[in-house]
Amino acid sequence: MSKRPWGYQPRAERPEPDWKLNPQTQSIRAGLARSGFGETSEALYLSSGFTYSSAEEAASSFADETDHFLYSRFANPTIQMFEKRMAALEGAESCMGTGSGMSAMFAAIACLVSNGDKIVASASMFSSCYVVLMEILPKWGITTELVEGNDRAKWEAAITKETKVVFIESPSNPLNEIVDIKLVSEIAHKVGATVIVDNVMASPVLQRPLELGADVVMYSATKHIDGQGRVLAGAILGSKEYIDTKLQPFTRHTGPALSPFNAWVLVKSLETMELRVWRMAENAQKIAEFLEQHPKIKKVKFPGLPSHPSYELVKRQMKAGGSTIGFEINGDQETTFKFLDQLRVIDISNNLGDSKSLITHPASTTHRRLGPEVLAKMGIGESVLRLSVGLEHVDDLIKDLDQALSK
């Protein structure tokens, strides 16, 4: 009697398409690995370890002589589906999933630097990224120089032969500062530095840093990639050489692993990411235009507005302005908090890239850790807000903002 489960049949592989698939198709089809059950949806391999048919197979697997999963901290079939799909979508040779966006940021950089090395970074960034660069890595003898704006001379002065990594966050969180990725990459490559771009605010849908010259792209997959507030995850994408010889030896022993369940959620989320991001971007454009004309709004920072100081660069570098708006209310923190408390549809929350519209006061929440001096340099004052625009009807969001501003 056969021990094979009922309904399980070895799969015959059908030919791959002989044309290049569009990103929309890649986000649904890339990396798909069906089992012998022939399931339509991707399977969830919720397993920490794997078995071997013999001691010899185990030994050859650990010696990388046999293709076999070893342990889900290293690799897992469901995680691999997510990684292959992300790589295809981004146009990268390889991808590694991680347990969070910050673990992705730290691992992407830490695997390249050692005592005495220098990092150059764009000055505006998420607070935790700032802490890693300016407080944690210096303990290990790794220094970081920050550069503001897109002045070629400033970047050329900062990026020297001692520079091992250039870290760019563009657009930046929360005020959407834009860095010229192509310009900075050209300068960095002259001295052999690796350019890493945090692309979370734009998503793979609206900006493709590798095509602009970057070497590595990283994400908090918690944001647009999941997009529904369910799981924590990160992703790092780059060349096969970088992933296999630099990143993998680091993560294999430090353990910032992505869980198979979270990877499965992300695989399913990628199927709708493009639809979600474009709808969010369309809503955000209309809301930014509304806010810019409102008498109680002092300033709006949104890449899709002609008033953005880097608007011409945005048109070359991005497909749309994104889903996140930075804006400043006329008034102090008390006035700003009063406005937040009057909102009836938009939630007060520190996440972004979600299907639900979310708003936060960075100076007292996401960027509080930085302190007054750094906040001032980044332009994050007491009346600055970050609005992550979701999938609700744009008329309802505008009405909610308008009624809260009028009180």
> What is the average pLDDT score of the chain?
96
For the domain made up of 23-269, give the CATH fold: Aspartate Aminotransferase; domain 2 (3.40.640)
At residue 102's C-alpha, the angle toward residues 301 and 26, to 5°, is: 80
pLDDT tens digit string along 233-257? 999 999 999 999 999 999 999 999 9
pLDDT tens digit string along 103-159? 999 999 999 999 999 999 999 999 999 999 999 999 999 999 999 999 999 999 999
CB within 8 Å of 171: residues ≥ 6 apart: 177, 178, 201, 202, 303, 318, 322, 324
Q: Tell me the whole-structure pTM to 2 decimals.
A: 0.95
- Give the CA dihedral 155, 161, 162, 165, nearest 10 degrees: 60
User: Peptide bond before 174: cis, by omega within 30 degrees of 0?
Assistant: yes
What is the Cα gyration radius of the chain?
Answer: 22
Confidence at 361, pLDDT banded by 50, 70, 90: very high
Domain boundaries, the chain: 23-269, 273-405
Of the candidates 197, 232, 181, 268, the one whose C-alpha atom is nearest the C-alpha of residue 353 is 232
Q: Does the pLDDT value for residue 26 go beyond 80? A: yes
- Secondary structure class of 89 (helix, strand, coil): helix
Q: Which of 23-32, 126-135, 271-280, 305-314 has the lowest mean pLDDT?
A: 23-32
pLDDT of amino acid 2: 58
3-state secondary structure 39-61: CCCCCCCCCCECCCCCHHHHHHH
273-405: in CATH 3.90.1150.10: yes
pLDDT of amino acid 3: 73
pLDDT of amino acid 171: 98
Q: Does the pLDDT value for residue 199 go beyond 60? A: yes
pLDDT tens digit string along 31-87? 999 988 889 999 999 999 999 999 999 999 999 999 999 999 999 999 999 999 999
pLDDT tens digit string along 203-231? 999 999 999 999 999 999 999 999 999 99
pLDDT of amino acid 10: 82
Q: Does the pLDDT value for residue 1 go beyond 60? A: no
pLDDT of amino acid 284: 98
Report the interhelical angle of 394-405 vs 333-342 (nearest 10°). Answer: 130
Identify whether the C-beta of residue 169 lies closer than 8 Å to the C-beta of residue 148.
no
